[in-house]
Structure 1
Amino acid sequence: MTLKTTKLRDAISFALVSGATVIAGTGVAFAQDSSEQQATTLDRIEVTGSRIRQASAETSQPVVVIDREELQKQGLTSVVDVLQNLTSAGSPAISRGDVLASGENVGGYYVDLRNLGASRTLILVNGKRLGSNTTGLQDLSQIPMSAIERVEVLKDGASSIYGSDAIAGVVNVITRSRFDGAEANVYFGQYSEGFGDITSGDFTLGASSDRGGVTMSVEYSKEEPIWARDVWYSKDGSLGPDFPGAGWSPVSQNGSFCDPCSPAAAARWWTLIPGMDPTDRASYQLHTAAFNANSNEAMMARTGIERRSIFVAGDFDVTDNVRFVADALYNHRTTTQTVAGYPFQSLAFGIPLSADSVFNPMPGEDLIIRRRLWEVPRTTESSLSTYRLTSAFEGVFDLGETSWNWDAGATWNRNEMVKVGRGDASLPALEAAMGPSFINGNNEAQCGTVDDPIALGINYGSGECTPWNPLLPFGVGGANSLSDPAVQAYLFPYYHDRGLTETTTYFANLAGTVVEMPAGPLGVAVGVEHRKEEGTFVPDAFAQAALHTGLPAATTAGQYSLDEVYLELNVPLLSGVAGAEELSINVASRYSDYDTFGDTINNKFGLTWRPVEGLLVRATYADGFRAPSIDNLYGGVGGSFESYIDPCGSTGPGNVAGGPACTAAGVPADYVQLGQGLVPCVQFPCQTPDQFLSGSNDKLTPEVSTSKTAGIVWSPEFVDGLDFSLDWYQVEIENLIASDSVSDILEDCYLRNIPERCSTIVRNPETGHITSLAFGLTNKGRLETEGWDFGVRYRMPETAVGQFGIDWQTSYISDYRVWANNNSDTVPSPSTSFAGTFRTRSNATLDWSYGDFGASWTSRYYSGMKEGCVSLDPGMCNNPDYIAPDVPDGYPLREVGSNTFHDVQFRWTAPWNATVALGANNVTDHRGPIMYTSPNNQFAYYGGFDMGRVIYMKYQQRF
C-alpha cells in the first residue's frame, strides 16, 4: 500500500484532535459528528494510557479530555488552575499562599491527582515526559495556554506504559499543530476588593501546506501579589478575624531584653518607653502582649508571578510515509515573595548585646535580646528559565496486509534557576554590630574599643563594622537604628541560590496490527527509551555555612540514568455477538533498569466489554512505581523552624501529658510546650524557636503501587446526548518515600507507642522542651485510598431559546489511610476530610448558547473538613470525643461545614471574527471557613479555596 501525503497528514491530525468526547469537570464539550471526520485508511487514534491506536476513544481506563473550547471558557490563565478544579484533583502541592515556602519548587504549578502528591502524577507534552526539577516535580505552567489544543487526564496508574511517577495518573498536554492564520487574546482580571490584578496576553501564528506546517504561540502573563494585611482571613493575625491579636509574636519590631532570663518560662522582657533614653535602664517597661508583632502586616498572602513563554511546533513530510516533527519551548518565570522581617533571638544564635556595647542599658552584663528585623523584610525573587526541544521522525509502513506506525527521536529539557534573596541578617555581621562599641571623637558609635577600634564601614569582609542598637523600636530612626541605611547595608547582604536540571531522553516506538482476528485486529506496541536526569541546586555560601539568620541548606547535586523497554498487546476476544458487541483485553509490561537502585518490572491488565451498544464496562489492574528523585537521593541536610503539637504538652489538643511514653522520656506532667522566644504556646500547631534538621537519603528505594479501577459508561439510546459514567478506584502505595513531619514523629512516638520513632527527639532534661529533632526522607509505611467518580452529561435538544448542556461530575473518597511504618501491626491513620482531603468534591455546569451568544454557570462543591481544636476557645471544639483507630484515647476535633463556589461567564461572538467574554470566579464572593491548622497555606484558611471574587474580561481576535 502506498500512503499519499494527504492521508498521512489527515491520519496524524485526526489522532491529535480526537478526544473531545469526554467532558471536563468545569465545562461541557461534545463529540464531533462522525460525518465531519475525514475517513482515512488509518482511522484509529492513540489515547493517553495506551500506545496502540484504537477505533474508539473509550478504552479500559478512565480518561477526561478538556478541549480548547473548554479551556477558553475558563476565567483562568493557567492550565493547572483549570485542572485544579477537576473533582479528582487533590490539594495544591505548593499553594500561592505558602509564602514561607523556599527552595526551587516555589512559583511552580503542579498537579496532584487523587491526593497522592504531585510527584506521583506524570506530566506529558505530546506524549513525551515534561522535564522536572531536582525534587521530581513537573511545572505544567511552562506550557502557554495559547499553545494547547486539549488536555487528556488519565485517572489510573500507567507505569507499564510511561514508567516512573505515573501512580495517581497522567496528564498529557496536546499542543496545536497545522494552524493556519493568526489569533490574539487578552485577559484582565482583578479581585473585587481592588487588588491582585491578573493580566495575560498571547498571540498564535501558523501556516501550513500539503507537506508541512509551523505554529508559534507567544504568551505573557502576570499576577500581582496580594498582601496579607488586605485579606479578611489574615489581616488580624495568624488566627483570623475571630481572634484579633491572637498568635501575634512576642518577638516584635519593638525590641526587648530579658531581666531576669531564667527560668525561660518565667522570664521578664523589657521594651523601651517611647521617647525615653535607650541607654538608661529606667527607660524600659515590661513587654506585654500590646507590643507583640502582627507579622501579617508585612507579609504577602499570595505570591506574585510573571511568565513569558514561546512555543513553536512544526512538521515536514520528508516522503509520502515519513514525517519530521519538532517542537520547542522557552519559558521564563519570575516569582516574588515578601515575608515579615526575621524574628531574631539571641538565644537561638548565641549572640547577645555585648556587656561592652555603648547601647547596653545594663553595662557590664551581656543582654539576651529579641527583635524582629521589621525594617528589612525577607524578600525572594525566583527566576526560572526553561528550554525544551523535542524532535522525531515518524511514519507508517505496510507489512503484508497490516499497517504499522513508528517514531524515533529525542527530547531535551533544561531548567535554569536563580534565586535572589535579602532580609536574613549575616550572623558574623550581627555579632560584630552587637559586640563591644564606643563613642569616638566624632560623637559616633564605633565597633571595638578605644584601644582597639574597628574601622567604620559596611563591608564586613574588609574588616569594617557598623554598630547596631537592637533596642531601638521600629519607627525610631537615626544613626545605628535598623532604619539606618548603613546598618541595613552592613547586616543584610544579597544572597544567591542557583539551580540547574537537565533531562535527556531518546526513544523509539513501533505499533501496529500483528494479525486480523475474528473479533478484530490484534494490536501490539513495543518501544525502548533511554533517559538521563542531572541536577544541582546550590544555596548561597551563607546558607551552606549557616552564617545567616535564614535556614541552613546544603548543595543538591547528582544524576542518574535508566534504560527501559515495554510491550503492549490489545487482544480482541469477541465482537458483534449477543452480549458482546465488543470484548477485549489489554496487557502491557515495562522493564526499567536504573543505575541507582536496580531494575523493576511493572505490568497492567485492562478489560473492555460492551454487552450492548451504548454500554461500556471497563476494568484495570496496574503496577506502578516512583523512583527517588535527585533531591531525594542527593539533597544534603537543611534546617527549619517547624510548627507542631507536642503530645506531651499539658495545654495542647489531643495531648497525653503524664502518659507512659512521655513519663519515660522524662517530661514533667505539667510541661507546657514553648514557642518563639521560649514563650508558652497559646495556639497550635506552635512554631519552635529551635532549628530542626532534615535531609536526603541515598539509600532510598522506589515506591511501589497497585491500582485497580472498574466502571461503566452508559449512553442510553432512548435519550440522545445523555451520558452516565461511574468509576471505582483503589490505589495502594508501599515503601513510601516520605518526608517525615515533626508532628507525625511525635504522634508515632507518644500516641501510637512506636519506640523506633523516638530516637531522634532530644529534650531539655529539666523542662521537657524539645531542643533538637532530626527527620528526613525514608521509605516508610504505606498509603491506601479508595473512591468513586460519577458523571452525568446531557446535551439537550436545541430549543427556540437556544441549546443547553449540563455536566455534573462528582468524586467521593470512601477511604484514605496512611500507615506510619512497615510494621504489620501498625494502626493506620484515617485522613479523609483532613487538610483538604475532601470526602466529596462535586462540580455542576450549565452551559447555554444561542446564535452568537453564550453563557455558563459552574458550581464547585467541597464537603466539610476536620482539624485539631484551638485551645483559645474550647467551645469551638465541636467534636471533643473523636475516636480513631490510631488514637484510641481520643483526639478532640473541630469540624467545619461544606462550601460551594460559583463561577459565571457571558460571551459574545462579534461579527468581526472576535469573541468577548465577561465573567466572575466565585461570583457570590463566598468565604470558606477559618482553618486554624492552615492547611496548604501560611494563614488560617485552606490554600485551595478562592480568596475572594475575581472579575475578568477576555477578548479574542481571529485573523
Structure 2
Amino acid sequence: MHTPHSRTKLAVSISAILVSGLATSAAYAQDASTQTLERVEITGSAIRRIDAEGALPVMVLKKDDIAKTGATSTVDLLQRLSTVQGGTPEAGSVGGSTFGFSGVSIHDVGETRTLVLLNGHRLSQFGGQTLTGFAAGFDLNGIPVSAIERVEVLTDGASALYGSDAIAGVVNFITKRDYQGASITVGVSTPKDGAKEKRASISAGFGNLDTDGYNIGVTYGHDERTALKATSRSYASTGNLLFSEGGKTYRSQNSSASSIPANVVDDNGNLISPYLIKNGSCPTNTFRVTDGSDDYCGFDYVSTLEIYPVRKRDSLMTSATARVGTHDLFADVLMSQTKQTSRIAPVPGGVPVTAGSALFNQYLAPLGITQDTTAYYRVNDLGWRTNEDKAKFLDIAIGSRGTFGTIDYSATYTHSKSDVKGNISGYPGALALSKLTSSGLIDPFVLSGQQSADGQKALDSIAYKGYWDGGAATLDTIQTQASTAIATLPAGEVTLAVGSNFNKEKFESKPSLFAQGLLSDPVTGTLCDPAKGLECNQRFGDAAAMVPYTAKRNSWGVFSEVNVPVVKGLDLTGDVRYDRFSDFGGASTGKLSFRFTPTKTFLLRGSVGTGFHAPSVPQVNAALQSYGVTEDPYTCTAALQQIATSLSAQCQPGKKQYDVLASGNPDLKAERSKQATLGFRMEPTRSISVGLDYWWVGIRDAFGQLDEETVFKNPLKYAGSWSTQKDIATGATYLAFKNDNLNLGKLFKSGLDLDATFREKFGFGKVTSQIQATYMLRSRFQYEQNGDYFSNLGDNTTGSMAFRWKGSWRNTVAMGAWEHTLGMNFKSGYHDAETEVQELDAAGNVVNPAAVVRLRAKAYYTFDWQTTWNINKTMSLSGGVLNLGDKAPPFVLNTTGGQQVGYDANLYDPRGRTWYLNGTVQF
C-alpha cells in the first residue's frame, strides 16, 4: 500500500461515508473532476484504479476531517466512528494491568480481528499483550494524530488480501508524504477538574519529488494529560449507590471486604468489623455492609479511583523518498513513547492473627473470638497502588515502488517492535507484611495515619517500588506485490495482481524476579532459598507467580487478485490467498466482489468471502500461571462452596475478588470466518448523496475465555473452570478461577452502515449536513462448542455490550475565513444485567435484602461545537466544546470491565464538557 504522488479523485473520494459532516464521494468527485487522474492503490485492493468508488465499503478521513472532530489522539478519533465498537479505550486501564493499551474494533467483531496498517504494511502487536489474547493487537497510542494525512477504514473482511487479523476489516493510517514547508500546532483541552491536555507538534518537509527528485519530511509531536479523579464526577464518586426504580428505593453496594481498619472472620465463619462493633458506625471511605450473617465495614474502593490516567506521549515520524526514473525509493521511521500513570485504591489482602497474640488479645478476644483468624486489611498507609507504564514503539519501513513498463510494483521490508515496561509502587511483600503484623509492629485495626512512628517506618521499609512486568513483540516482514493489465475486453482491461509476504514474529514475556515469586526480600532484591531459610515472597494482595518465556514463529503467504470488466458498468474482482504458520498450519481464503453502475447516479456493490485469524504467540505458548484477580468481587454461594470443598480449598470470605489462573493452549485452532456485504450508493442530485451497506460475518472456533460472571453464577456447570491458589501471607488455600484460552464456538454479527449527505452553496456560504450511522441487526455468540447462544445486542447480561444504534449528525457552515460545525453524537439505550440489590424503605432500612432489578440505560446524545478562523494563508485558529451540554453517562449497575461502577467507562467518556483551542502557523 502506498499513497499517490498527488491528491487524486480516488484518494479523496473512495468512500461515501466521511466523519465530521464533510462532503461524500459525489461532492468530492465534483470538486476533483478537473484533476488529472492517476492509478492509485486503495485499502482492500492490490489493484490501482481510477474509479471513485470500489466494490468494497471504504471510508476515508482526510486531515481536515480529523481536525473537525476535535479528537486529539487516534484513540479518540476512531472511537467517534459509527462503525467502531468494542475496542479498549484509555479509561479501560483503571483497575487492570493494560499497560495503557487502546485498540480499535470494527463492528464489535473484536480489536484482535481488526487489522491496523501504517502506510499499507503490518505493525507488531502490543508488547504488553496478555496470554489470554487481550491487547493482542496494535496499540493506537503508537501512531500520533499529528503525523496522519488520512485514514482509510475498510469495513469488510479482507483476509483474502491481507491474511490473518482482518476478519472485521482494516484500518490503514497514511502519513504525510511529499510535504514542503513547515508548520507548528499547539493546543489545550480543559474538562472540569481534571484530564486537562496540552499538546504541540511541528512538521517540516524539504524537497519536491517532481522537481527535485527527493523529499524528506519530519513530524514531532508531544502531548500530556493530568488525571481525572472519581470524586470529581458525582456519578463515579462512590460504590454505595442509592437509586430509585419503579417507585421504589434501592441500594447497590460495591465494596471490598479488605478495609481500614481491618475486618476479621469470627469463630462462626462470619465477617465482622471490630471497629463497627466498638463505635457503632464505619469510618471514612467505608460503609456498612450486611450480607446474610456478615456485618462489616466495606471499603469504598470506587471513591479512590482515578478514572482517567495521567499520560505523556512523544512521537517522531521521518519519511525520505528519492525518485529514480519510474521508481520511488523510500524509508520511513516512526518512533513513539507513551508513559501512563494509573492509580487505584491501596493494596488489600489478608494477614494472620494468632490467638493469644497482643493484637488478638486487644481487639478480638473481647469480641468472643477464640481461634486463629485472618484480618482482611487495606494497607492505606502505603498510599495508592500505582502503575507507571512505558510503551515504546518503533517501526521502520524500507522499500521501492514504481513501474516496470506496464507493471506496477512495490517491495517493502519492515521491522516493527513494541516494547513495554511496567513499574509499580504501593505493594509490599506478603511475607514481610505478615511478619510485621505478627510482631505487633503493624496494627491493622487502627485508622489510616494512626500507625506508630516505628510501624510506619517499618511499612515504608517493605514497600516495593520498581519494575514489575513487561514484554516485547517484534515483527519483521518482507512484502512484495505487482499488478498489470493482462488482457483487454470490450468493457475494459482485465487486471491481475500477485503478491507475497514473509513474517517473522517473536514475543518475550519479561516478569521481574518479584513477579516470578523468586525473591525473599523484594526491596533489596535478595533471592529466595528455602533450604537456607529464605522463603519465597510474593506480592501482597494477590498470588503472583508469573512465568517468563520467549516464543517465535514464522509465516508466509501468497495471494492473487484479478479484476474483470464483464460488461460496461459491471466489474468482478476475485481474490485467493494461502498462508502457512510454523506453529499451527495453513489457511486458504478467498473473496469475490462486484461493482455495478447501471447509471452515473447509482452504484450497487457486494462481496462474499472467507477469512481466518491466527492465535497470538502467547495464546499458544504461555505456561500456566497467575493472572491477577477477577474484575468483580463475589460472595461464596452454596455452589461455590461445593466446588471449593471438592478441591480441598476455601471460598473467599465475604464479598471478595478471586485469584485467576491462565495458560496458553497449544491445541488452539485458528478462527475461521465467512463474510458478505451488499450495498448501494445513489446521488439523485449534485447536492444529495445516500449510501447503505449491509454486512454479515460469521466466525467459528472463536477464541476467548468463559465470562467470569457467567461462570460464578453457575459454577457447577463450568466445573473445569476452577483451581486453587495458596495465599502465602495466611497459608490458606483458596478457590481460584481458571480462565484458559479456548475455542468457544461460533459468533455471528450483522448490521447496516448508512449515511446521507446534503451539500449546497448559498449566498451566505457553503452548507454541509451529514448523518452517519450503524444499525446492528444481530450479535450472537456461544461460550462453548455446540452450546447455547447469547446476545450482547443492547444487552449487558454477558458482560459485553453492543449498541443497536451508533452514529453522528454533523452540520458545517463555511463563510469566508470562518467555518462553524455543530455535531450530534448518539448511542442507543440498552438493558443492564439483572442485579441483586437491597430494597429500602422511606427511612433507609432494608426491607428486602435480595431484590432483583434490571435497569435500562437511556439513549445517549451529546453535542459538539467547533469554530475555525483561517486568519490568513499561514495562520489558523480553531476552538470548540465537546459534550456541549455536559451530559453525564447513563446510570448502570454493571460495567463491561474495569473497577468503575455507576457508569460504564468502556462505553462512555467521563470527561464531560471539554473546551479546546488549537492554533497552527505555517512557514
User: Is this contact kept in 2: 1:164–1:625, CA < 8 A?
Assistant: yes
State yes or no: 1:809 paired with 2:772. yes
CA gap of 1:299–1:326, structure 2 versus 1, over 3 A, is same
In structure 1, the partner of 2:524 is none
Question: What is the CA deviation profile of residues 194-236 of structure 1, one whole-angstrom value per residue up to 9, with x for unaligned ones?
Answer: 3221111101101222201111110001121111121222212
Unaligned residue ranges in structure 2 (runs of 5+): 130-135, 245-249, 280-292, 518-536, 726-732, 842-851
Q: Structure 1 residue 25 and structure 2 residue 19: aligned?
A: yes
- Taking the TM superposition and a 5 Å limit, the aligned residue runs for 1:429-578 are 429-436=432-439, 467-481=441-455, 484-545=456-517, 547-549=538-540, 550-552=542-544, 553-575=546-568
Q: 1:792 and 1:33 mapped to 2: Cα distance?
A: 17
Q: CA deviation at 1:97?
A: 4.4
The verdict on how the C-alpha distance between 1:13 and 1:804 changes in structure 2, with shifts beyond 3 A counting, is closer
Shift of 1:571: 0.8
- 1:926 equivalenced with 2:892 (yes/no): no
In structure 2, C-alpha distance between the alignment counterparts of 1:13 and 1:532, rounded to whole Å: 34
Q: Which residue of 2 aligns with 1:183?
A: 183
Offset of residue 294 of structure 1? 1.9
Aligned to 1:200: 199
- 1:810-831 deviation per Cα after TM superposition (whole angstroms, max 9, x unaligned): 11111110112222xx321122
Q: CA deviation at 1:666?
A: 11
**Residue 523 to residue 245, structure 1, CA distance change in 2 (3 Å):** closer
Aligned to 1:443: none
* TM-superposition CA deviations, 1:579-603 (whole Å, max 9, x none): xxx1011100111010010111010
User: In 2, Cα distance between the equivalents of 1:10 and 1:936?
Assistant: 42
CA 1:94/1:79 → structure 2, altered by over 3 Å: closer, same or farther? closer
TM-superposed deviation, 1:770: 8.6
Q: 1:237 aligns with which of 236, 239, 249?
A: 239
- Which of 898, 908, 911 is the aligned partner of 1:945? 908
Higher strand share: 2
> Could you tell me which residue of structure 2 aligns to residue 118 of structure 1?
111
Question: Using a 3 Å threshold, how does the CA distance of structure 1 residues 11 and 644 change in structure 2: closer, same or farther?
Answer: closer
Could you say if the C-alpha distance between residues 646 and 144 of structure 1 is closer, same or farther in structure 2, counting changes exceeding 3 Å? closer
1:317 and 1:59 map into 2 onto residues whose CA distance is 29
What percent of counterpart residues are identical? 22
Please tell me whether residue 48 in structure 1 is matched to residue 43 in structure 2.
Answer: yes
Which of 667, 676, 686 lines up with 1:699 in the alignment? 667
Of 515-524 and 18-27, deviating more is 18-27
The 5 Å alignment of 1:149-168 reads 149-168=149-168
Out of 188, 212, 215, the position equivalent to 2:214 is 212
Q: 1:94 to 1:78 in 2, by over 3 A?
A: closer
Write the distance in 1 (CA, Å) between the matches of 2:355 and 2:393: 49
Deviations 1:789-834 (A, max 9, x none): 11101112x11221110110111111110112222xx321122012
In the alignment, does 2:745 pair up with 1:781? yes
Q: Distance in 2 between matches of 1:614 and 1:775?
A: 53
Tell which structure's C-alpha radius of gyration is larger. 1
Q: 1:927, CA displacement in angstroms?
A: 1.3
Report deviation, 1:9: 10
Task: Quote the residue 2:289 is aligned against.
Answer: none
1:416 aligns with 2:419: yes
Q: In structure 1, the residue corresponding to 2:218 is in which secondary structure?
A: strand
Give me the whole-angstrom Cα distance separating, in 1, the residues matched to 2:632 and 2:377: 23
Q: What is the RMSD computed on CA atoms of the aligned residues?
A: 3.1
Give me the whole-angstrom Cα distance separating, in 2, the residues matched to 1:875 and 1:846: 47
> Structure 1 residues 551 and 791 mapped into 2: Cα distance closer, same or farther (>3 Å)?
farther
Superposed CA offset, 1:854-891 (max 9, x none): 11111111111112233325699xxxxxxxxxxxxxx9
Aligned position for 1:397:
404
Q: Distance in 2 between matches of 1:854 and 1:369?
A: 63
Q: Is the Cα contact below 8 Å between 2:701 and 2:743 reproduced in 1? A: yes
Gaps of 5+ in 1: 1-7, 275-286, 438-466, 576-581, 651-656, 669-673, 682-686, 877-890
Contact 1:817–1:828 (Cα < 8 Å) also in 2: yes
Give the Cα separation in 2 of the matches to 1:730 and 1:53. Answer: 26
Question: What is aligned with 2:847?
Answer: none
Q: Counterparts of 1:35 and 1:254 in 2: how far apart (Å)?
A: 70
For residues 726-758 of structure 1, give each alpha carbon's deviation from its aligned partner in whole angstroms, at most 9, with x where no partner exists: 1111110110111222223356766xxxx5x32
Aligned residues of 2:827 and 2:860 also touching (Cα < 8 A) = yes
2:129 aligned with 1:128, yes or no? no
In structure 2, the CA distance between the partners of 1:164 and 1:433, relative to structure 1 (3 Å rule), is same
Q: 2:587 aligns with which of 594, 597, 600?
A: 600
Q: Does 1:71 align with 2:71?
A: no
Q: Shift of residue 540 of structure 1?
A: 2.1
Matched, 1:311 2:277: no
Change (3 A) 1:25 1:747: farther
Query: Are 2:144 and 1:141 aligned?
Result: no
Give the direction of change, closer, same or farther, for the CA distance of 1:930–1:792 in structure 2 (3 Å limit).
Answer: same
Question: Structure 1: how far apart are the matches of 2:734 and 2:277?
Answer: 31
Report the CA distance shift for 1:13/1:67 in structure 2 as closer, same or farther (over 3 A).
closer
The answer as to whether partners of 2:631 and 2:899 remain within 8 angstroms in 1 is: no
TM-score (norm 1): 0.82
- Residue 339 (structure 2) aligns with: 334
SS at structure 2 position matched to 1:368 = strand
Question: Which residue does the alignment assign to 1:828?
Answer: 789
* Structure 2 CA distance for aligned equivalents of residues 763 and 633 of structure 1: 23
Among residues 680, 694, 704, which one is paired with 1:728 in the alignment?
Answer: 694
Distance 1:517 1:95, change over 3 A: same
| 1:409 shift after superposition | 2.1
CA distance in 2, matches of 1:822, 1:534: 30
SS at match of 1:849: strand
- 2:816 is the counterpart of 1:851: yes
Q: Indicate the residue corresponding to 1:226 in structure 2.
A: 228
Match of 1:709 in 2: 677
CA distance in 1, matches of 2:777, 2:662: 33
In structure 2, what is the Cα distance between the partners aligned to 1:37 and 1:207?
A: 28
Partner of residue 754 from structure 2, selected from 790, 801, 816:
790
Q: Does 1:96 align with 2:87?
A: no
Matches within 5 A, 1:247-326: 247-258=254-265, 261-265=266-270, 269-270=274-275, 291-318=297-324, 320-326=325-331
C-alpha change, 1:845 and 1:18, in structure 2 (3 Å) is: closer
**Structure 2: how far apart are the matches of 1:365 and 1:494?**
38
Instruction: Determine which of 823, 830, 836 is the counterpart of 1:865.
Output: 830
Instruction: Specify the SS of the correspondent of 1:592.
Output: strand
Say if 1:301 and 1:241 are closer, same or farther in 2 by CA, change over 3 A: farther
Number of the residue aligned with 1:460: none
State how far apart, in whole Å, the 1-side matches of 2:645 and 2:621 are. Answer: 36
